[in-house]
Chains A and B, each alone.
Chain A
C-alpha cells in the first residue's frame, strides 16, 4: 500500500513554497521508486513550520518542517517515509505541545483531512450534525443553537440563536442564509483556513441553518483577496451537490438548500453585514440603516441569516454532539471555543483554538514564543484594525467578550497582532485613521470626513504644531466618530487611536524628543 505524504495546499503554506515542495516530493519519490500518495491537506496552523510535511507511519503522522524544495532529497535519504531522523523532524504531530494543548472543535479536521474528500469528511464525523438537524423541526433546531451559547464570531458577538429565531419567526416565501467570508481584519485568517482546509464543515453549517430557519438558498461572500478559498469552495459545493448534501432533496429528505459562492471586490466595508448584502445585490457596498434588521429584511428584502464563517462552521459540531457539549467550554457569557490567530511579530504565529478564558500573556509567550525579532513586545492589537492597542500591563486579560469590553477593547474575530518595541504608536494611530479614510463607504459624515481630518490632526501633533490644542481636537474628533457614525468602521476606528494616545503618549511627541522620552 502506498505511503501517504501530506503537503498542505493552504495559501500561507503555498506562500512559503509548498507547491515546489509537493513537486519535489513527487519527483524524488519517482526517482527512489517509492510508492507514495501525496495528499494536499489544509494547514495545522503551525505556521512557523510551514511548509510542514507529514508522513503516515505505524506510529501515527510524523511531521517535518519547515521544508523547502531543497530539503526534499535529504529527507528521502534520511528515510523520512518511515519517520527517519532529520534536522527538520518534529516528531508525531499530535504530540507537538502547541497542538496538544488546544481544544479543537471547529478546527477538528483542518490539516488532518483532504479538504475535498467527502470520504475523509464523513470518516471524521462529518454530516452527523446535518442528519441530526434533518430529524428536528425548525424551532428545536434553533433552540440547539441558542442553548449552545454560540455568539457571532465575526466580531459583533451577537447571540446566533436570537438571529436564527428572528428569521424562523418571520414569515416569507423566500429566506436566505448568507455567509460573511469577507475576512478583512489584519491579523485574522481563520476563515481562510476553514474554507481552504475543511470547506464541507461550512457547507454543512449553512445547510443546517437553512433547514432550521426555512431558507432554501445560501450565498458565501468571499473576499477577492482569497482566490484559493473561492476555488476550493466552488469545487466542494459541486461535489457535495452530487452526493445530495445540497440540492432539492438533502439526503433524500424533503428539505432543499442551494449554495453559491460570490466574490467580493476589495472593499473592507463589505465585512459589515448590511454593506455585504448591498454588495451581493450588485450595488455599492453602502451601509444600511438598522432597523430593519437583516433577519427581518435582509438580502433582496427577505429574512436573512447572516453569520461569519467560524460561526457557521461551529454549528455542525453543536448538532453532532449536542448544545451542552459545546457550552461546557468557555466561561460566563462567552461559551464554546474561539479560534485565535496569532500574527505579526511573534516567533510562533499560528492558529490556537481554545475555550474562552485563556490570557493574552499565555497566547503571546506560551504559544507565540515572544517576539520574532527577539526584542521586547510593546503593544498588541486584538480584533483587527478597529481594536484597541494594549500595553504590557494588560496582557493578563482573559480572552472573553466581557473582560475585553471592560478594558475598552474587543475580542473581535480573534486576531492578535504583536508589535515589538520598535513600533511607533503615533504612526499606527495615523494608519488607523488613514485606513478608515480609504475604506469608508462615505454614507455618514463622521466616518467619511472625520477619518481624513484625523490623519491631518495627528500630523499636526507629531510635528509639534500647537500640540495641546490638537490633542484636544483629536479627542473631540474621536468622540464624534464613536457617537455619530452609522457602523463600526467609523464608530470604532477611534479605539486604536485613543488607546495609542492613552498608553503610549510619548510616541506623539516630535520625533527627536521621542527618543529622549
Chain B
C-alpha cells in the first residue's frame, strides 16, 4: 500500500473521534516508522484543520519524527536518576561505540540514537530502551552485548 493510502485509511478511521490528531499521528508513525511530509496535507484536509495547525502539533512533540529512522532506535535516558548512576559516562560510551551523536543515525542505517527523559525505570538506573525493550542497570558491557544481540536479531539479553 502506498504511503498516501495508509495515511488516508488512518485518517478515516479516527476523524470522527474527539481530539483525533494525536491518535492519527501515532498510528501513522507506528505504520510507517515516521510521519512523511505528505501526511500533513492529508490530515489537515481530513480533520478540517489548517496545514499550519497540523505541522504545529507534529513539530511540538519529541516522539514524532518526520524522517525515517535507522532500523532500530536506541533511547538512552539522560534524566537525574540515571545521571546519579553514571548515565553521563554511558552516553559517551554509546556515542563512541556507534560513532554518532544524539539524534543521529549510524552510517549503516542500523541505529538511531535518541536521548530520552525518564523511562520510569529509575530503580534500575541507568536505563535505556532499544525499540520497545527497556534495559536496566546498563553498563558499557551490557550495552555492547544488547547492541550485538539486536543487530543479530536475537532475543533479549539476560541481566
Q: Which residues of A contact B (CB under 8 A)?
A: 11-12, 14-17, 19-20, 45, 47-48, 50-51, 66, 68-70, 183-189, 191-192, 224-227, 262-268, 279-285, 300, 341-345, 349-351, 372, 381, 385, 415, 417-420, 423, 428, 431, 435, 438-439, 441
Stretch from B2-10, B90-98, B104-112, B118-126 that touches the partner: B118-126
Would A283 and B57 count as touching, CB distance under 8 A? yes
Would B124 and A51 count as touching, CB distance under 8 A? no
| 20 intermolecular pairs with C-beta atoms under 8 Å apart | A17-B156, A45-B123, A47-B124, A184-B117, A186-B79, A186-B122, A262-B22, A264-B63, A265-B62, A285-B61, A343-B81, A344-B122, A351-B123, A381-B80, A415-B81, A420-B84, A423-B84, A431-B80, A435-B79, A435-B117
Query: Which of chain B's residues have a CB closer than 8 A to the CB of A431?
Result: 80, 83
B153 within 8 A of A: no
Would B80 and A12 count as touching, CB distance under 8 A? no
Would B122 and A385 count as touching, CB distance under 8 A? no
B132 within 8 A of A: yes
Would A265 and B26 count as touching, CB distance under 8 A? yes
From B53, B61, B63, B136, A12 is in contact (CB under 8 Å) with B136
Q: How far is the CA of A263 from the CA of B20 in the complex (A)?
A: 11
From A225, A282, A342, A428, B22 is in contact (CB under 8 Å) with A282
B116 within 8 A of A: yes
From B57, B62, B136, A15 is in contact (CB under 8 Å) with B136
B25 within 8 A of A: yes
Knowing A17-B158, A265-B61 touch, does A189 contact B123 (C-beta < 8 A)?
yes
B65 CB, nearest partner CB in chain A, Å? 10
Would A15 and B26 count as touching, CB distance under 8 A? no
Would A344 and B117 count as touching, CB distance under 8 A? no
From A267, A280, A420, B19 is in contact (CB under 8 Å) with A280
B98 CB, nearest partner CB in chain A, Å? 20
B61 CB, nearest partner CB in chain A, Å? 4
Q: How far is the CA of A419 from the CA of B79 in the complex (A)?
A: 13
Would A343 and B125 count as touching, CB distance under 8 A? yes
From A191, A265, A428, A438, B80 is in contact (CB under 8 Å) with A428
Find the A residue at minimum CB distance from B23.
A262
Query: Which of chain B's residues have a CB closer than 8 A to the CB of A344?
Result: 80-81, 84-85, 122, 125
Would A16 and B137 count as touching, CB distance under 8 A? yes
Would B116 and A225 count as touching, CB distance under 8 A? yes
Knowing A15-B124, A188-B122 touch, does A281 contact B117 (C-beta < 8 A)?
no
Query: Which of chain B's residues have a CB closer than 8 A to the CB of A15?
Result: 121, 124, 127, 134-136
Query: Which of chain A's residues have a CB closer than 8 A to the CB of B61?
Result: 264-267, 285
Find the B residue at minimum CB distance from A418.
B84
Q: How far is the CA of A20 from the CA of B156 in the complex (A)?
A: 7
- 9 more contacts with CB within 8 A, not counting A16-B137, A225-B119, A349-B123, are A14-B133, A186-B79, A189-B122, A263-B26, A267-B61, A349-B125, A417-B81, A420-B84, A431-B83
Q: How far is the CA of A11 from the CA of B134 in the complex (A)?
A: 7
Would A186 and B85 count as touching, CB distance under 8 A? no
Q: How far is the CA of A11 from the CA of B25 in the complex (A)?
A: 25
Q: How far is the CA of A281 from the CA of B19 in the complex (A)?
A: 4
Most buried by A among B84, B136, B137: B84
Q: Which residues of B contact A (CB under 8 A)?
A: 18-23, 25-26, 47, 53, 56-57, 60-64, 79-85, 116-125, 127, 129, 132-137, 155-159
Q: How far is the CA of A300 from the CA of B19 in the complex (A)?
A: 9
Knowing A47-B123, A268-B117 touch, does A284 contact B84 (C-beta < 8 A)?
no
A373 CB, nearest partner CB in chain B, Å? 8
Query: Which of chain A's residues have a CB closer than 8 A to the CB of B159?
Result: 16-17, 51, 66, 68
A43 CB, nearest partner CB in chain B, Å? 9
A260 CB, nearest partner CB in chain B, Å? 9
B52 CB, nearest partner CB in chain A, Å? 11
Find the A residue at minimum CB distance from B57.
A284
Query: Which of chain A's residues have a CB closer than 8 A to the CB of B136?
Result: 12, 15-16
Knowing A280-B19, A345-B84 touch, does A189 contact B156 (C-beta < 8 A)?
no
Would A342 and B123 count as touching, CB distance under 8 A? yes
Find the A residue at minimum CB distance from B18.
A300
Knowing A185-B118, A344-B122, A349-B124 touch, does A285 contact B60 (C-beta < 8 A)?
yes
Query: Which of chain A's residues have a CB closer than 8 A to the CB of B26?
Result: 224, 263, 265
Knowing A47-B124, A187-B122 touch, does A281 contact B84 (C-beta < 8 A)?
no
Find the A residue at minimum CB distance from B64.
A265
Find the B residue at minimum CB distance from A350.
B123
B56 CB, nearest partner CB in chain A, Å? 5
Would B158 and A68 count as touching, CB distance under 8 A? yes
Query: Which of chain B's residues have a CB closer than 8 A to the CB of A435?
Result: 79, 117
Q: How far is the CA of A270 from the CA of B7 in the complex (A)?
A: 26
Knowing A19-B156, A266-B62, A345-B85 touch, does A192 contact B120 (C-beta < 8 A)?
yes
Would B60 and A267 count as touching, CB distance under 8 A? yes
Knowing A265-B26, A265-B61 touch, does A343 contact B122 (C-beta < 8 A)?
yes
Would A14 and B60 count as touching, CB distance under 8 A? no
Would B121 and A12 count as touching, CB distance under 8 A? yes
B92 CB, nearest partner CB in chain A, Å? 14
